Structure 1
């Protein structure tokens, strides 16, 4: 397979990982990554705030899945791995900060009494009187509709909704139970109570494979954005070409191979390839694959996305430490921000980065909300300062610096029917040799899931190239 040409369309963590895996599994391949952004890394990005490089996209990885930590190790970053401080998160509900209930899974309380404070006594009583679900399997239902039917609307509005918004920027009554909570879906379709299923799933996710407690999340000293920076630098040093600010406009069949068309229409540039990995969001992916897999393109267009913005603040440390790691905000309370992370409390390296400053961030934007994201940067900063101050019960100290990062169409929505939708996409693309899809739109939105998706696509390309090489008698 020496001399094989592979083009990866998309320079986020998925596409970069696909290129990394191809270096190992297809030695001697000519690998090119085509990325529309100004730099590789996608939602793993750092920007200076008060002179300190901070994450303005993803700021941690799930440590209970191995993929991200394995990649960090392969890049020689083991000694840079850090874990959040042992602090608690809160929910800002009905005008007060309440400790996040322990033993919950995506906000489903087990037992409901653990949510006292966030839920009223009447709401806890309703949740404890769990409504049975008719026996037998069901294809799919939204998380919100299912939980509300069994435990009451308040559990959805006050607990499940803010947790799901933190992961998907989505709405509980649109997101798929089967796709977003597969362990719970499997248990309840087998007849388990919802609170028991949540308790079992939460316990499983809270333990390492060996059964001992281990950190749930991890990051890197200096920010998880360093993972993308290190990966792209290493790829370049090993001969991979990364073309930033380059849009892949068209994918053409060229005999048994492919031609990727980039650049402006008056002066197009073409790249030849024996195989192509498409690792971009569903809308551009649909445009690229439609001539070759129309059914896949149609299903890809059914996947919707939510946009969001991250407001990062550097404040004077004279006001003292911030309480806990941050808080989530139920949409039902009508606030603009949906969460705030107290970075200097959560990450020790951030606290040590500037002795006279504290860093925190607030996120804005849920699925279907567009007005707030159209506000100017200064207005978003002002809203973030006002609402975080209100949650804390006192005015934030002097703002030394602020940064607004907008993520348009950042998070795919795993709406009802998502699992079947992805199956249709996979089946359609399987009939197109040398073409693979990868990314957050399919089997998981987190960084470990995207890394796994990129590796899987690269290994499928490897299998294709080996078969092709064998057919050629090489």
Structure 2
């Protein structure tokens, strides 16, 4: 597929090539072309190797009901995603969750997520005890945090290592692990505290007790929120019709702003020239540009950068990814009873097949309104190091999900429709040392005028973080172009 809209900007504007059509690439193209309400900075060509745009933001349907088949929500207290959604005409479609009351399926029962925590690290031992998530022995060990000597963490440490030292292994296994798994599909004993939970790293470096530090941080955040508004903004936000509408709306805005969009167009290589960059495309085509934004997975960026920034390419080649499968099920609402809350997380230590389930029809009002007689839920399977489950066929993944749903929530009915979506290499991993690795990559790439990187592999895997990285990349190439730097400089 080759979809091209004639560029409408003045010929004097520089030409920027954006490689990658996920949300980061689309956000970069929109910012460059002024499709997000900003001033146009360049003529833009966006190249996507696959047949569709949007990356891991994708809508589909199950049993005739529109659903998200990838990310389903975006952090609202970080502004980039909400700002972009409003800029491309989705302001009236933004919608907070109907309920955010999640549970943890552990120790043989669905137990309420304890209140007053920061990525599973409690600030309220009474709330933790009331939840029933930990055993009496686990609670007693967690309480020792308030009397233990300081844990030295230096500039970084694995999340699991720090939390286990302060509060014991049960807190890691039954609280931190499932929460981190929902974001990174990774392992708490490898994930960087600095990269994944920087607020907790600051607490670890400043406070002796993790519990006291979390309690103080949550109290300060609550006071700040109440001082700004009587109705604090929701933590997360969805979109009526699905988060997958966001890339579609951004792409439409880009088209109106004159962006040339080409799908099924992988970039074979990049060549530096005296005037900028030239990309080799299928069929021997060469496409010249004044600057390039790479919004692609780390391995693709490594291949394209290898001739120009070999050390950065080597570092990018070491970035690991986790894969996961999403099983989306549509039930007759009358068959599933009164399920409560937004769903549940599953600690890997409990040995279940699924790692989470979202009760989508409870969580999102737009789903309930559009299909009141249907109950949509989804499960996720697989995480870093356990991607073999993705090779199981659809029927097996569905059956595994139904077995766990029956044990956890008492669902005995069978769905009338289903779909399975596999995201192989979907989530980059942020191990200890990730921020330093990214700094080294960006330092070497900075020596290549008119080229910048963005996407989930660098400064955050969430939608706002990806958009923010795209905007930073646009600023970098814009500054280089304004300075009149050329590849021969």
CA drift of 1:373 comes to 0.9
**Match of 1:295?**
311
Could you tell me whether the CA contact under 8 Å between 1:184 and 1:201 is conserved in 2? no
2:124 to 104, 111, 124: 111
Greater shift after overlay, 96-105 or 295-304? Answer: 295-304
Residues 1:185 and 1:464: Cα distance change in structure 2 (over 3 Å): same
Could you tell me whether the CA contact under 8 Å between 2:449 and 2:485 is conserved in 1? no
Could you tell me whether the CA contact under 8 Å between 1:2 and 1:26 is conserved in 2? no
- Residue by residue over 1:386-424, the C-alpha shift from the partner in whole angstroms, topping out at 9 and shown as x without a partner, is 2112110241x2311111111111111110001111110
**Match of 1:162?**
178
In 2, the alpha carbon distance for the partners of 1:160 and 1:238 equals 44
- Residue by residue over 1:313-337, the C-alpha shift from the partner in whole angstroms, topping out at 9 and shown as x without a partner, is 1011113332110000000011111
Whether 1:183 and 2:161 are equivalent positions in the alignment is no
1:5 to 11, 15, 21: 15
Could you tell me whether the CA contact under 8 Å between 1:2 and 1:28 is conserved in 2? no
Whether 1:313 and 2:326 are equivalent positions in the alignment is no
**Match of 1:121?**
136
Q: Equivalences for 1:363-442 in 2 at 5 Å?
A: 363-395=380-412, 397-442=413-458
Could you tell me whether the CA contact under 8 Å between 2:207 and 2:213 is conserved in 1? no
Could you tell me whether the CA contact under 8 Å between 1:157 and 1:330 is conserved in 2? yes
CA drift of 1:115 comes to 2.1
CA drift of 1:83 comes to 0.6
Instruction: State the number of aligned residues.
Output: 468
1:238 to 257, 265, 270: 257
**Match of 2:356?**
339
1:358 to 365, 370, 375: 375
Residues 1:249 and 1:409: Cα distance change in structure 2 (over 3 Å): same
In 2, the alpha carbon distance for the partners of 1:37 and 1:451 equals 20
Q: Equivalences for 1:251-262 in 2 at 5 Å?
A: 251-262=270-281
In 1, the alpha carbon distance for the partners of 2:443 and 2:355 equals 37
In 1, the alpha carbon distance for the partners of 2:40 and 2:83 equals 20
Greater shift after overlay, 238-247 or 53-62? Answer: 238-247
CA drift of 1:152 comes to 0.5
Q: Equivalences for 1:52-67 in 2 at 5 Å?
A: 52-67=65-80
Residues 1:26 and 1:64: Cα distance change in structure 2 (over 3 Å): closer
Residues 1:201 and 1:283: Cα distance change in structure 2 (over 3 Å): farther
Normalising by structure 2, we get a TM-score of 0.92
CA drift of 1:260 comes to 1.0
Whether 1:68 and 2:81 are equivalent positions in the alignment is yes
Could you tell me whether the CA contact under 8 Å between 2:41 and 2:478 is conserved in 1? no
Q: CA RMSD in A?
A: 2.0
Could you tell me whether the CA contact under 8 Å between 2:18 and 2:293 is conserved in 1? yes
Whether 1:46 and 2:63 are equivalent positions in the alignment is no
In 2, the alpha carbon distance for the partners of 1:298 and 1:469 equals 26
Could you tell me whether the CA contact under 8 Å between 1:307 and 1:367 is conserved in 2? yes
CA drift of 1:70 comes to 0.7
Could you tell me whether the CA contact under 8 Å between 2:59 and 2:68 is conserved in 1? yes
In 2, the alpha carbon distance for the partners of 1:272 and 1:200 equals 54
Normalising by structure 1, we get a TM-score of 0.94
Could you tell me whether the CA contact under 8 Å between 2:115 and 2:124 is conserved in 1? no
CA drift of 1:94 comes to 1.7
1:143 to 159, 169, 190: 159
Structure 1 portions without partners, runs of 5+: none
- Residue by residue over 1:165-219, the C-alpha shift from the partner in whole angstroms, topping out at 9 and shown as x without a partner, is 0000010000001111111112211234211222344445666482653211111
In 2, the alpha carbon distance for the partners of 1:300 and 1:200 equals 37
- Residue by residue over 1:212-269, the C-alpha shift from the partner in whole angstroms, topping out at 9 and shown as x without a partner, is 5321111111011111111111111221111112211211112231011122xxx232
- Residue by residue over 1:347-369, the C-alpha shift from the partner in whole angstroms, topping out at 9 and shown as x without a partner, is 01101222321100101111100
